[in-house]
Each structure stands twice: as structure tokens, then as C-alpha cells.
Amino acid sequence: MNKRLMALLSVVTIVGSACNATAPASQAPASQPAATTGASQPAASAEAVKLVVWPRNYTLTQDPPFQPVTKTWEAAHPGVTVELSGAPYDPQFQRIELSQAGQISDVPDIVQLDNIWLGQFTEEKILANLDSYYASWAGKTDILPAYADSTKWNGSQQAVWFYSDIRLLIWNKDVFKKAGLDPEKGPATWDDVMADAQAIKEKVPGVVPVGFPAASQEGTVDRWYPYLYMTGSNILSPDNKTAVFNDAGGQKAVQFYVDLVNRGYASKDLLTQEADAVSASVFSGKYGMMLATVGSGLSDRPEGMTAEQFKATIGAIVPPICAGCQQATVAGGWMLGITEKSTHKDLAWDYIMAVTDGAQMVPFEDQFTRVPVRQTGLADPSKFATDPYFGESAKAAAVAHFPPFIAKYTGMIEFIWTGIQKAVNGDLSTKDALDEAANSVNTLLATP
């Protein structure tokens, strides 16, 4: 009997452990950060109203952008309270999806969304159409045209820009000094990158001249897109139905990475490195330079590093361009949207207007080197004294591109980064790697 019992327990142990280890994804959402909803009560009601806002977690640990304005706004709206519930990146996406699916009972009125989620959230009817609000919003003309267009889906406004980040090339000034290069002058062209990398390789042993993220993550494609766009290429065709990143421009952009590796200026170890890790390595002097996100440039500086020390350590410039190419970069960032399920849409819009107001956002943008999405912000560099490279960010904002806002974007980028990885690793030629990736993307786009 005991033996049988032990055998039975063993079976349960093996099978149960296997399932427990792999099954929780379908259960995990239940443990996402929770927020109680008050969205079921109409705004006009005399009863207390709770506006549920789901921002990113880090925005709640600092005063701007939410804390001071929320108190002021609540004071101006008696009977209305704002409940702020933060979450990290992936859980933020998951909880919004799960709320829409009804798998968690919490229903937010306002969500903070990465700009790459806009298409998916709109197609899934998570986000409410904001055209009627935009129609009477005087401040809309202040939003930079490229940014204003990027909150649209099928011609309709679906969100309001919150804050942005932009890709610039950053370099370590100490490494440049040791290599005999001008520490105040970054490479303006791809040829300059190669020349500077050669100097670093020759004169600064132990330092990898160039870094770029090449791990299996969104940052890999995000940092590659500027090189793609500057060749005149694009990710998808204008109707967003076919991949075009495998054209001559796309191949040129990937070949740039391959050449860096083949010449010994970059290491295949980058295949395991995410953008933040590469950025940290430029700060520490392990890498000489990289295309980084400004917004995670100064704000991600090591603990205790002042803005002055940052300026003394790191240089930043608009992305270097190839011969015959046009200046281009990629912007990303965060928007605020009102959920279709919200029963307090007017209040939600009012709150969004208060939070995203240009004057209210400036201290946040200055402190965390975010790029203003408003023309009045960009026009007044004196308010952004903390960011020594505000001028470069402003230049970059004028040539910023955004990835396509389609529901399948988050699914298709895995094929693109895999293509880049295969080319960098030498598994396939640049053309074959991108063609394979494009075929996979086209198959995905064609799937209903």
C-alpha cells in the first residue's frame, strides 16, 4: 500500500510540477496590480466618483507628472477622487488587455499606453474615439505634426501624447579621449562611426567600440529603425499590408551592423544584450558608443551622477547617417487614452488635459530628459537647462518617425529582430535573413 502511495505521489509530483511551472501564464494575470473601479457610476451623479487611472509605475514615484496636479484637480472637482495604480511595462499591457477581456474585474477610465500599442488597443476597441474632444481642444495645434498624426488610427484621434523619448547616438567621452578623438564631437556619418571605432579598437584595449542592442526584445528593432528610415526605406508598405524592410535600404541598414561585427568594432555578445544593458555599458565605458534612447540617457544615469557629470561623461548627437541618406530617427513614448468602457469620459478628458498640459509637463520633461511633444516646449530651450543635449533632441524630433500602428505590430517585430540576429550572427546573409523575416511578417499580416 505504502509503495503504491509513494508511486502515486511521485507521479503527481512530476506531472504536477511540470504543469505548475508552465501553466501559470493563464493564471498569472490574476496577480496583476489591482485597482478598484468606480467607473460604473455616472459622473453626473451626486455620489462620489472615482476616476481610475492606470499609469506606468515609475511615474508615481516622482512628483511630476501626476502627484501635484492630481491634488489640484481633485480640489477643483469636489466629489471626484483619482485612483492611480501603476504597473511595470509588460504587466501594464497585460492588465489593460485582461480588463478588456473581462478576466479581471477592474476597469480603468484612463490608461497610459506605449505608442506601439495604439493600433492594437484601438482595433480591440479598448480605446475610445477622441475626435469630438479633439475638435474643441485649442491645444491640439501645439502638438508637433508628426506626433499629432501618431495618435491617429484610421484618421481618428485615439489618445493624447503624454511624453516622448527619441533616439540619439551617445558616446563615452573618456573612451573618445583615450582613443585620441575629440570627446565633444560625435560621429555624424556611418564612415565616421567606422573611423572612430577603429581608433577606439586600436588605442583603448578592453573597450568594445560600438554597441547596439541585439537581444530578443523590442529595443533591438527600435534602435535599428533610424538606420532603416534614413535610407528611405520603411517597415511596411503605406497600406500596412506588406513588409518592405527587406528592400535595398533595409539590407543596407542591417549590413551596417554586420560590418561593425565583422570588422571587430562590435561583439556578437550583443545578441544577448538588451538596450538598457548596452546603454549602461556606454556609461561605464565598456562600450564606446551606441544608438540610445534619450529619456533613458540622462535619466538612466548611474545613481548619484549629476547633470554636469553626465555632460562631462556622455555626448549625444542625432543618429549618424549613411552616404546619400536623409537624417532620420525614431521616437517613442507614452500616451494617455480613455477606455471605451469608461463611464466618466468627460471627466477623464478633463483630467488628461490637466496632466498633459505643457506647463505642467515641463518640470517632468526637464528632470527626466523627456522630449517635449509640444511646439511651445521645443521652442523654449531655457526651460530644459538640465538636459545638455536638448538642442540635439529638438533636431531629432523634427525628423522623427514612428513604427506602424497596427494590431499585429507587437507580434511581427519578433520576426524582424530574429532576422537582424541571424544576419549579425552570420547564420544567413543580410538579404536572406531579411527576406525570411519579411515572409514571416507577410504571413502574419495575411492571417485574419
> Which is nearer to another protein, 205 or 324 (by Cβ)?
205
Residues that contact another protein, how many (by CB under 8 A): 55
Question: Does the footprint of another protein cover residue 15 (CB under 8 A)?
Answer: yes
Question: Does the footprint of another protein cover residue 124 (CB under 8 A)?
Answer: yes
Q: Cβ–Cβ contacts within 10 Å for residue 306, how many?
A: 10
Question: Does the footprint of another protein cover residue 415 (CB under 8 A)?
Answer: yes
The grid coordinates listed for 138 are 485649442
Strand 208-211 relative to strand 400-401, pairing: unpaired
Q: Cβ–Cβ contacts within 10 Å for residue 439, how many?
A: 14
Question: Does the footprint of another protein cover residue 103 (CB under 8 A)?
Answer: yes
Question: Does the footprint of another protein cover residue 445 (CB under 8 A)?
Answer: no
- Cis peptide leading into 65, omega within 30 of 0? yes
Site string for another protein, 182-211 (x = CB under 8 A): ------------------------x-x---
CA atoms of 187 and 318, how far apart (whole Å): 9
Q: Which stretch binds another protein (CB under 8 A): 49-57, 154-162, 212-220, 381-389?
A: 212-220
Q: Which of 162, 66, 65 is nearest to 114 (CA)?
A: 162
- Report the nearest approach of another protein to the CB of residue 438 (Å): 13
Q: Are 172 and 313 in contact (CB under 8 A)?
A: yes
Out of 60, 84, 98, 354, the only residue in the binding site for another protein (CB under 8 A) is 98
> Which is nearer to another protein, 325 or 413 (by Cβ)?
413
Out of 34, 44, 76, 101, the only residue in the binding site for another protein (CB under 8 A) is 101
Secondary structure (3-state) at 75: helix
> Which is nearer to another protein, 1 or 135 (by Cβ)?
1
- Report the nearest approach of another protein to the CB of residue 33 (Å): 15
Which residues partner with 338 through β-bridges? Answer: 110
- Report the nearest approach of another protein to the CB of residue 273 (Å): 9
Question: Does the footprint of another protein cover residue 19 (CB under 8 A)?
Answer: yes
126-165 positions binding another protein, by CB under 8 A: 126
What is the DSSP secondary structure assignment for residue 73, as one 8-state letter? Answer: H
Query: 239 exposed, middle or buried (CB, 10 Å; 0-12, 13-18, 19+)?
Result: exposed
Secondary structure (3-state) at 13: helix
- Report the nearest approach of another protein to the CB of residue 34 (Å): 17
Question: Does the footprint of another protein cover residue 7 (CB under 8 A)?
Answer: yes
- Report the nearest approach of another protein to the CB of residue 420 (Å): 10
Q: Are 263 and 194 in contact (CB under 8 A)?
A: yes
CA atoms of 147 and 160, how far apart (whole Å): 10
C-alpha separations of 176 from 182, 198, 325, 383 in Å: 7, 11, 26, 30
**Which residues would be at the binding site for another protein (CB under 8 A)?**
3, 6-7, 10-11, 13-29, 90, 94, 97-98, 100-103, 124, 126, 206, 208, 214-217, 267-272, 286, 410-411, 414-415, 418, 421-422, 425, 427, 440
